[in-house]
Amino acid sequence: KAGVTQTPRYLIKTRGQQVTLSCSPISGHRSVSWYQQTPGQGLQFLFEYFSETQRNKGNFPGRFSGRQFSNSRSEMNVSTLELGDSALYLCASSLSGGAGHEQFFGPGTRLTVL
């Protein structure tokens, strides 16, 4: 079974631009979560989606948004990029969501904002 895939793997943008990151979960997984990883703040939760519905959202500004499609693939969008948005963005999928289920992580998208 293929693992979680994230595209693109690397991205360079300039301040003020917007970006869309994509995550394809493991086949059969219906839950997708997103995390931002930075050296200063560590790993922070962004969103959790299950069956196209956002079930939980982290403490991030409205510039960060996401969605999930009927095939469970998910995208996250960051508008009006700031230098502080430079980070590794990780996506994780699980079979059915809910606390305690093992979440499988993708390799991440490294976003650099110049």
Partner 1 sequence: AQTVTQSQPEMSVQEAETVTLSCTYDTSESNYYLFWYKQPPSRQMILVIRQEAYKQQNATENRFSVNFQKAAKSFSLKISDSQLGDTAMYFCALTEGGSEKLVFGKGMKLTVNP
The site for partner 1 (CB under 8 A) is made up of: 31, 33, 35, 42-45, 48, 50, 55-56, 58, 88, 90, 92, 94, 97-105, 107-108
Alpha-carbon distance of 45 to 58, in angstroms, equals 5
**Cross-strand pairs, 6:** 23
CB closer to partner 1 out of 18 and 54: 54
Tokens of 5: 């895939």
CB closer to partner 1 out of 22 and 104: 104
CB 41 → partner 1: shortest distance, Å? 9
CB closer to partner 1 out of 79 and 88: 88
3-state secondary structure of 83: helix
Q: Is the backbone peptide bond immediately before 61 cis, with ω within 30 degrees of 0?
A: no
CB 28 → partner 1: shortest distance, Å? 16
Tokens of 94: 């699980």
